[in-house]
Amino acid sequence: MAYYYRLGAIPPKRHTQFRQPDGSLYKEEVVSSKGFSGIYSTLYHIHNPNEVRSIGKPEPYSWKPAAEYGLNQTHLKTSDVEFTGEDYLSARRNLMMNSDVMMGICSPRQRKMDYYFKNADGDELIYVHDGEGVLYSQFGKLEVRKGDYIVIPRTTIYRFEFEEKGPLRLLIIESQGAIETVKRYRNEVGQLLEHSPYCERDIRPPHELHIEKEKGDYLVQIKKQGMLHQYSYGHSPLDIVGWDGYLYPYALSIYDFEPITGRIHQPPPVHQTFQAWGFVICSFVPRLFDYHPLSIPAPYNHSNIDSDEVLYYAEGEFMSRKGIDRGSFTLHMGGLPHGPHPGTVEKSIGAKATDEYAVMLDTFKSLQITTDSLEFVDKNYPMSWTE
Protein backbone atom coordinates (compact mmCIF):
# COMPACT_ATOMS: atom_id res chain seq x y z
CA MET A 1 0.00 0.00 0.00
CA ALA A 2 1.69 3.17 -1.18
CA TYR A 3 1.30 5.55 1.71
CA TYR A 4 3.34 6.14 4.85
CA TYR A 5 2.01 5.09 8.25
CA ARG A 6 3.40 4.84 11.78
CA LEU A 7 2.34 3.58 15.20
CA GLY A 8 3.95 3.71 18.65
CA ALA A 9 7.38 4.96 19.67
CA ILE A 10 10.23 5.22 17.15
CA PRO A 11 13.55 7.12 17.24
CA PRO A 12 13.95 10.41 15.32
CA LYS A 13 16.47 8.81 12.96
CA ARG A 14 16.46 5.24 11.65
CA HIS A 15 19.38 2.88 12.41
CA THR A 16 20.34 4.90 15.49
CA GLN A 17 20.35 4.10 19.22
CA PHE A 18 16.86 3.67 20.67
CA ARG A 19 16.95 2.55 24.31
CA GLN A 20 14.50 0.79 26.58
CA PRO A 21 13.78 2.08 30.12
CA ASP A 22 16.45 -0.27 31.52
CA GLY A 23 19.08 1.19 29.20
CA SER A 24 19.25 -1.75 26.76
CA LEU A 25 18.65 -1.19 23.06
CA TYR A 26 15.39 -1.91 21.32
CA LYS A 27 16.04 -4.38 18.50
CA GLU A 28 15.49 -2.82 15.09
CA GLU A 29 14.14 -4.96 12.24
CA VAL A 30 13.60 -3.86 8.63
CA VAL A 31 10.90 -5.85 6.80
CA SER A 32 11.47 -5.16 3.12
CA SER A 33 10.24 -6.31 -0.27
CA LYS A 34 12.24 -6.85 -3.48
CA GLY A 35 15.44 -6.97 -1.49
CA PHE A 36 15.89 -3.32 -0.56
CA SER A 37 14.23 -1.79 -3.64
CA GLY A 38 10.55 -2.28 -2.76
CA ILE A 39 8.28 -1.02 -0.01
CA TYR A 40 9.37 -1.67 3.58
CA SER A 41 8.69 -0.95 7.23
CA THR A 42 11.02 -0.62 10.22
CA LEU A 43 10.00 -2.30 13.49
CA TYR A 44 11.38 -1.95 17.03
CA HIS A 45 11.31 -5.08 19.23
CA ILE A 46 11.71 -5.47 22.98
CA HIS A 47 13.40 -8.85 22.40
CA ASN A 48 15.72 -10.11 19.68
CA PRO A 49 13.51 -11.51 16.87
CA ASN A 50 16.20 -14.13 16.06
CA GLU A 51 16.08 -15.86 19.47
CA VAL A 52 14.63 -19.26 18.58
CA ARG A 53 14.00 -21.71 21.43
CA SER A 54 13.45 -24.79 19.25
CA ILE A 55 12.58 -25.85 15.70
CA GLY A 56 10.13 -28.70 15.23
CA LYS A 57 9.73 -31.17 12.40
CA PRO A 58 8.24 -29.64 9.21
CA GLU A 59 4.76 -30.82 8.24
CA PRO A 60 3.48 -31.13 4.64
CA TYR A 61 1.11 -28.31 3.73
CA SER A 62 0.24 -28.15 0.05
CA TRP A 63 -2.46 -28.92 -2.51
CA LYS A 64 -2.49 -31.03 -5.66
CA PRO A 65 -4.27 -30.38 -8.97
CA ALA A 66 -7.01 -32.82 -9.89
CA ALA A 67 -5.47 -34.91 -12.65
CA GLU A 68 -7.44 -35.39 -15.86
CA TYR A 69 -10.30 -33.10 -14.83
CA GLY A 70 -10.42 -31.75 -18.35
CA LEU A 71 -11.71 -28.56 -19.92
CA ASN A 72 -15.05 -27.95 -18.23
CA GLN A 73 -17.09 -24.95 -17.23
CA THR A 74 -17.22 -25.52 -13.48
CA HIS A 75 -19.59 -24.82 -10.62
CA LEU A 76 -18.31 -25.65 -7.13
CA LYS A 77 -21.25 -26.04 -4.77
CA THR A 78 -19.62 -24.90 -1.54
CA SER A 79 -22.61 -22.93 -0.29
CA ASP A 80 -23.70 -25.54 2.28
CA VAL A 81 -20.26 -26.15 3.82
CA GLU A 82 -20.36 -25.30 7.53
CA PHE A 83 -16.84 -26.24 8.66
CA THR A 84 -13.75 -27.04 6.62
CA GLY A 85 -11.46 -27.96 9.51
CA GLU A 86 -10.68 -27.54 13.18
CA ASP A 87 -8.38 -24.53 13.23
CA TYR A 88 -7.34 -21.70 10.91
CA LEU A 89 -4.65 -23.67 9.05
CA SER A 90 -6.27 -27.10 8.92
CA ALA A 91 -9.51 -25.46 7.75
CA ARG A 92 -7.94 -23.97 4.64
CA ARG A 93 -9.13 -25.78 1.54
CA ASN A 94 -7.61 -24.42 -1.63
CA LEU A 95 -9.90 -25.22 -4.54
CA MET A 96 -8.11 -23.69 -7.55
CA MET A 97 -4.47 -23.02 -8.28
CA ASN A 98 -1.76 -22.18 -10.76
CA SER A 99 1.84 -21.06 -10.33
CA ASP A 100 0.76 -17.47 -9.49
CA VAL A 101 -2.22 -17.88 -7.19
CA MET A 102 -4.35 -20.21 -5.07
CA MET A 103 -7.97 -19.62 -4.07
CA GLY A 104 -10.09 -21.41 -1.51
CA ILE A 105 -12.31 -21.32 1.54
CA CYS A 106 -11.73 -21.48 5.28
CA SER A 107 -14.41 -22.07 7.94
CA PRO A 108 -12.68 -23.20 11.15
CA ARG A 109 -14.50 -24.52 14.21
CA GLN A 110 -12.00 -22.81 16.51
CA ARG A 111 -12.45 -19.05 16.52
CA LYS A 112 -9.18 -18.15 18.26
CA MET A 113 -5.71 -19.18 17.11
CA ASP A 114 -3.43 -20.46 19.89
CA TYR A 115 -0.36 -20.02 17.65
CA TYR A 116 0.93 -17.44 15.18
CA PHE A 117 1.16 -17.87 11.42
CA LYS A 118 3.65 -16.50 8.91
CA ASN A 119 3.22 -17.05 5.19
CA ALA A 120 6.74 -16.85 3.78
CA ASP A 121 5.56 -17.96 0.32
CA GLY A 122 3.12 -15.25 -0.65
CA ASP A 123 0.87 -12.32 0.07
CA GLU A 124 -2.64 -13.15 1.25
CA LEU A 125 -5.97 -11.55 0.47
CA ILE A 126 -8.72 -12.69 2.84
CA TYR A 127 -12.34 -11.80 2.13
CA VAL A 128 -14.56 -12.03 5.21
CA HIS A 129 -17.79 -13.47 3.84
CA ASP A 130 -19.23 -14.03 7.31
CA GLY A 131 -17.87 -13.17 10.74
CA GLU A 132 -16.03 -10.46 12.60
CA GLY A 133 -13.00 -10.31 14.83
CA VAL A 134 -9.50 -8.94 15.25
CA LEU A 135 -6.27 -9.49 13.34
CA TYR A 136 -3.27 -9.21 15.68
CA SER A 137 0.13 -8.76 14.04
CA GLN A 138 3.51 -7.09 14.65
CA PHE A 139 1.90 -4.00 13.13
CA GLY A 140 -0.87 -3.84 15.73
CA LYS A 141 -4.56 -4.50 16.07
CA LEU A 142 -6.91 -4.44 13.08
CA GLU A 143 -10.62 -4.98 13.60
CA VAL A 144 -12.24 -6.84 10.70
CA ARG A 145 -15.83 -7.58 9.78
CA LYS A 146 -18.14 -8.99 7.14
CA GLY A 147 -17.35 -7.65 3.67
CA ASP A 148 -13.72 -6.79 4.39
CA TYR A 149 -10.83 -7.57 2.12
CA ILE A 150 -7.76 -8.04 4.35
CA VAL A 151 -4.41 -7.68 2.58
CA ILE A 152 -1.60 -9.38 4.53
CA PRO A 153 1.93 -8.94 3.09
CA ARG A 154 4.14 -12.02 3.11
CA THR A 155 6.16 -12.71 6.28
CA THR A 156 3.65 -10.82 8.44
CA ILE A 157 3.31 -12.75 11.71
CA TYR A 158 -0.31 -12.80 12.81
CA ARG A 159 -3.17 -14.54 14.52
CA PHE A 160 -6.94 -14.09 14.31
CA GLU A 161 -9.51 -13.95 17.07
CA PHE A 162 -13.03 -14.16 15.67
CA GLU A 163 -16.27 -13.66 17.55
CA GLU A 164 -17.79 -16.91 18.82
CA LYS A 165 -21.33 -16.08 17.72
CA GLY A 166 -22.60 -16.47 14.18
CA PRO A 167 -21.13 -18.12 11.08
CA LEU A 168 -17.49 -17.73 10.06
CA ARG A 169 -16.64 -18.04 6.40
CA LEU A 170 -13.46 -16.77 4.74
CA LEU A 171 -12.38 -16.66 1.11
CA ILE A 172 -8.57 -16.86 0.94
CA ILE A 173 -6.40 -15.93 -2.03
CA GLU A 174 -2.64 -16.53 -1.83
CA SER A 175 -0.41 -14.75 -4.34
CA GLN A 176 3.18 -15.42 -5.39
CA GLY A 177 3.51 -11.69 -6.14
CA ALA A 178 2.60 -8.59 -4.17
CA ILE A 179 -1.11 -7.74 -3.91
CA GLU A 180 -1.46 -4.05 -4.68
CA THR A 181 -3.96 -1.31 -5.38
CA VAL A 182 -4.64 -0.84 -9.09
CA LYS A 183 -1.88 1.03 -10.91
CA ARG A 184 -4.17 2.99 -13.22
CA TYR A 185 -5.98 4.38 -10.16
CA ARG A 186 -2.73 5.93 -8.80
CA ASN A 187 -0.74 9.05 -9.68
CA GLU A 188 3.05 9.19 -9.96
CA VAL A 189 3.55 9.37 -6.17
CA GLY A 190 1.08 6.58 -5.38
CA GLN A 191 -1.96 8.62 -4.33
CA LEU A 192 -5.29 7.20 -5.45
CA LEU A 193 -6.81 9.37 -8.16
CA GLU A 194 -10.19 11.07 -8.22
CA HIS A 195 -11.66 8.50 -10.61
CA SER A 196 -10.63 5.55 -8.42
CA PRO A 197 -13.62 3.58 -7.02
CA TYR A 198 -12.07 3.82 -3.53
CA CYS A 199 -9.58 6.13 -1.83
CA GLU A 200 -7.24 6.26 1.17
CA ARG A 201 -10.15 7.15 3.48
CA ASP A 202 -11.58 3.69 2.81
CA ILE A 203 -8.36 1.83 3.68
CA ARG A 204 -7.96 0.80 7.32
CA PRO A 205 -4.44 0.08 8.64
CA PRO A 206 -3.94 -1.34 12.16
CA HIS A 207 -5.37 1.30 14.48
CA GLU A 208 -3.39 0.62 17.69
CA LEU A 209 -0.37 -1.36 18.83
CA HIS A 210 -0.82 -4.69 20.59
CA ILE A 211 2.33 -5.27 22.66
CA GLU A 212 2.89 -8.70 24.20
CA LYS A 213 5.83 -8.37 26.63
CA GLU A 214 5.59 -11.57 28.67
CA LYS A 215 8.06 -14.40 28.32
CA GLY A 216 6.65 -17.85 27.65
CA ASP A 217 6.30 -20.48 24.93
CA TYR A 218 5.17 -18.99 21.61
CA LEU A 219 4.68 -21.09 18.48
CA VAL A 220 5.00 -19.55 15.02
CA GLN A 221 4.00 -21.81 12.12
CA ILE A 222 5.76 -20.69 8.94
CA LYS A 223 4.53 -21.74 5.50
CA LYS A 224 7.42 -22.17 3.09
CA GLN A 225 7.78 -24.37 -0.03
CA GLY A 226 4.82 -26.61 0.68
CA MET A 227 5.67 -27.20 4.33
CA LEU A 228 4.64 -25.81 7.72
CA HIS A 229 7.77 -25.15 9.79
CA GLN A 230 7.38 -25.12 13.57
CA TYR A 231 9.35 -22.37 15.31
CA SER A 232 9.12 -21.90 19.08
CA TYR A 233 10.23 -18.72 20.81
CA GLY A 234 10.61 -17.72 24.44
CA HIS A 235 8.88 -14.41 23.79
CA SER A 236 5.98 -13.21 21.68
CA PRO A 237 6.69 -12.02 18.12
CA LEU A 238 4.24 -9.19 18.89
CA ASP A 239 6.70 -7.34 21.12
CA ILE A 240 6.81 -4.25 18.91
CA VAL A 241 6.82 -0.84 20.65
CA GLY A 242 6.68 1.10 17.40
CA TRP A 243 7.08 0.95 13.64
CA ASP A 244 6.80 3.04 10.51
CA GLY A 245 6.81 2.52 6.77
CA TYR A 246 4.78 1.50 3.77
CA LEU A 247 4.43 -2.27 4.30
CA TYR A 248 1.65 -3.42 6.66
CA PRO A 249 -1.67 -5.30 6.62
CA TYR A 250 -4.83 -3.33 5.95
CA ALA A 251 -8.55 -3.79 5.32
CA LEU A 252 -10.83 -2.43 2.60
CA SER A 253 -14.55 -3.16 2.72
CA ILE A 254 -16.38 -4.28 -0.41
CA TYR A 255 -19.19 -2.02 0.85
CA ASP A 256 -16.91 1.00 0.31
CA PHE A 257 -16.22 0.14 -3.34
CA GLU A 258 -18.01 2.68 -5.56
CA PRO A 259 -19.17 1.14 -8.87
CA ILE A 260 -18.48 2.68 -12.27
CA THR A 261 -21.50 2.57 -14.59
CA GLY A 262 -22.34 3.71 -18.15
CA ARG A 263 -25.00 3.97 -20.83
CA ILE A 264 -24.16 0.48 -22.11
CA HIS A 265 -22.78 -2.61 -20.41
CA GLN A 266 -19.39 -2.00 -18.79
CA PRO A 267 -16.69 -4.72 -19.01
CA PRO A 268 -15.25 -6.35 -15.88
CA PRO A 269 -12.10 -4.13 -15.66
CA VAL A 270 -14.28 -1.29 -14.27
CA HIS A 271 -14.79 -3.50 -11.20
CA GLN A 272 -11.07 -4.08 -10.60
CA THR A 273 -10.05 -3.68 -6.95
CA PHE A 274 -6.55 -5.20 -6.68
CA GLN A 275 -3.74 -6.29 -8.97
CA ALA A 276 -0.96 -8.84 -8.59
CA TRP A 277 1.49 -10.70 -10.77
CA GLY A 278 -0.59 -12.91 -13.08
CA PHE A 279 -4.10 -11.99 -11.90
CA VAL A 280 -6.55 -9.29 -10.87
CA ILE A 281 -9.34 -9.14 -8.27
CA CYS A 282 -12.65 -7.42 -9.05
CA SER A 283 -15.65 -6.53 -6.86
CA PHE A 284 -19.22 -6.71 -8.13
CA VAL A 285 -21.44 -4.54 -5.96
CA PRO A 286 -24.99 -3.12 -6.13
CA ARG A 287 -25.13 -0.58 -8.97
CA LEU A 288 -27.44 1.10 -11.44
CA PHE A 289 -27.77 -0.71 -14.73
CA ASP A 290 -26.99 0.77 -18.14
CA TYR A 291 -29.24 3.66 -19.17
CA HIS A 292 -29.12 3.52 -22.98
CA PRO A 293 -32.78 3.11 -24.12
CA LEU A 294 -31.91 -0.20 -25.85
CA SER A 295 -29.42 -1.46 -23.29
CA ILE A 296 -29.22 -5.11 -22.22
CA PRO A 297 -28.17 -5.27 -18.57
CA ALA A 298 -27.17 -8.94 -18.66
CA PRO A 299 -23.54 -9.53 -19.67
CA TYR A 300 -22.81 -10.62 -23.22
CA ASN A 301 -21.24 -13.95 -24.18
CA HIS A 302 -17.48 -13.88 -23.81
CA SER A 303 -14.62 -16.05 -25.05
CA ASN A 304 -11.56 -15.86 -22.82
CA ILE A 305 -8.51 -15.95 -25.06
CA ASP A 306 -5.82 -15.66 -22.42
CA SER A 307 -7.44 -15.81 -18.99
CA ASP A 308 -9.57 -17.94 -16.68
CA GLU A 309 -12.40 -16.32 -14.74
CA VAL A 310 -13.60 -17.25 -11.25
CA LEU A 311 -16.63 -15.73 -9.53
CA TYR A 312 -17.34 -16.21 -5.86
CA TYR A 313 -20.97 -15.35 -5.17
CA ALA A 314 -21.30 -13.51 -1.86
CA GLU A 315 -24.75 -11.91 -1.60
CA GLY A 316 -27.91 -11.07 -3.53
CA GLU A 317 -29.59 -12.11 -6.76
CA PHE A 318 -27.21 -13.25 -9.49
CA MET A 319 -29.00 -12.14 -12.63
CA SER A 320 -27.09 -14.08 -15.31
CA ARG A 321 -26.82 -17.44 -13.51
CA LYS A 322 -29.36 -20.08 -12.51
CA GLY A 323 -28.79 -22.58 -9.72
CA ILE A 324 -26.05 -20.51 -8.08
CA ASP A 325 -26.23 -20.00 -4.34
CA ARG A 326 -24.54 -17.74 -1.85
CA GLY A 327 -21.02 -19.15 -1.41
CA SER A 328 -20.81 -20.87 -4.79
CA PHE A 329 -17.85 -20.63 -7.18
CA THR A 330 -17.97 -20.65 -10.97
CA LEU A 331 -14.83 -21.21 -13.02
CA HIS A 332 -15.01 -20.36 -16.73
CA MET A 333 -11.86 -21.55 -18.42
CA GLY A 334 -10.08 -19.91 -21.31
CA GLY A 335 -10.78 -21.75 -24.56
CA LEU A 336 -14.55 -21.92 -24.02
CA PRO A 337 -17.18 -19.19 -24.40
CA HIS A 338 -19.37 -18.41 -21.44
CA GLY A 339 -22.30 -16.14 -20.87
CA PRO A 340 -25.78 -15.76 -19.40
CA HIS A 341 -27.96 -18.79 -18.88
CA PRO A 342 -30.95 -19.22 -21.23
CA GLY A 343 -33.76 -16.76 -20.54
CA THR A 344 -31.72 -14.41 -18.37
CA VAL A 345 -30.90 -11.94 -21.17
CA GLU A 346 -34.55 -11.17 -22.04
CA LYS A 347 -35.46 -11.15 -18.38
CA SER A 348 -32.84 -8.49 -17.65
CA ILE A 349 -34.19 -5.96 -20.16
CA GLY A 350 -35.82 -3.07 -18.33
CA ALA A 351 -34.16 -3.83 -15.00
CA LYS A 352 -32.87 -0.67 -13.33
CA ALA A 353 -30.32 -1.96 -10.82
CA THR A 354 -28.61 -5.03 -9.43
CA ASP A 355 -28.36 -6.02 -5.78
CA GLU A 356 -25.46 -8.47 -5.79
CA TYR A 357 -22.01 -8.85 -4.28
CA ALA A 358 -19.37 -11.10 -5.81
CA VAL A 359 -15.58 -11.41 -5.82
CA MET A 360 -13.94 -12.15 -9.17
CA LEU A 361 -10.48 -13.61 -9.79
CA ASP A 362 -9.17 -13.33 -13.36
CA THR A 363 -5.90 -15.16 -14.03
CA PHE A 364 -3.60 -15.00 -17.03
CA LYS A 365 -2.39 -18.56 -16.64
CA SER A 366 -4.78 -21.49 -16.70
CA LEU A 367 -6.22 -22.57 -13.36
CA GLN A 368 -6.57 -26.16 -12.25
CA ILE A 369 -9.04 -27.29 -9.67
CA THR A 370 -7.48 -29.19 -6.78
CA THR A 371 -8.33 -32.61 -5.42
CA ASP A 372 -10.10 -30.79 -2.56
CA SER A 373 -12.55 -29.38 -5.13
CA LEU A 374 -13.80 -32.68 -6.50
CA GLU A 375 -16.44 -33.26 -3.84
CA PHE A 376 -18.05 -29.90 -4.67
CA VAL A 377 -18.21 -30.21 -8.48
CA ASP A 378 -21.69 -29.73 -10.01
CA LYS A 379 -21.57 -32.31 -12.79
CA ASN A 380 -24.58 -30.81 -14.55
CA TYR A 381 -23.16 -27.32 -14.88
CA PRO A 382 -21.27 -27.71 -18.20
CA MET A 383 -24.57 -28.61 -19.92
CA SER A 384 -26.65 -25.92 -18.17
CA TRP A 385 -26.76 -23.69 -21.29
CA THR A 386 -28.70 -26.34 -23.26
CA GLU A 387 -32.03 -25.95 -21.45
- pLDDT single digits (tens) 153-177: 999 999 999 999 999 999 999 999 9
Residue 247 · residue 41 · CB < 8 Å? yes
Binding-site annotation, residues for Fe cation = 302, 308, 338
Where, residue-wise, is CATH 2.60.120.10 in the chain? 5-63+85-253, 257-383
pLDDT of residue 61: 96
pLDDT higher than 80, residue 46: yes
Return the exposure string of 331-366: e unless at least 16 CB atoms fall within 10 Å of the residue's CB, then b.
bbbbeeebebbeebbeebeeeeebebbbbbbbbeee
Q: How far is CA 328 from the centre of its chain?
A: 17
Just give the CATH number of 5-63+85-253.
2.60.120.10
pLDDT higher than 70, residue 387: no
Active site residue 75: no
What share of the chain in percent tops pLDDT 90?
81
pTM given for the model: 0.95
pLDDT of residue 319: 62
Please give the average per-residue pLDDT across 132-153, as a whole number: 98
Task: Quote the CA–CA distance of 383 and 74 in Å, as a whole number.
Answer: 10
Q: Annotated catalytic residue: which of 129, 210, 265, 341? A: 265
pLDDT of residue 347: 82
Q: 267-320, pLDDT tens digit by residue? A: 889 999 999 999 999 999 999 888 899 988 888 888 888 899 999 999 987 765
pLDDT higher than 80, residue 2: no
Just give the CATH number of 257-383.
2.60.120.10
Radius of gyration of the chain (CA): 22
Binding-site annotation, residues for homogentisate = 338
Q: 230-262, pLDDT tens digit by residue? A: 999 999 999 999 999 999 999 999 999 999 998
Cα–Cα distances in angstroms (integers) from residue 206 to residues 140, 167, 244, 383, in the given order: 5, 24, 12, 47
Binding-site annotation, residues = 302, 308, 338
pLDDT of residue 66: 96
Which residues face 96 on adjacent strands?
103, 369
Q: 17-38, pLDDT tens digit by residue? A: 999 999 999 999 999 999 999 9
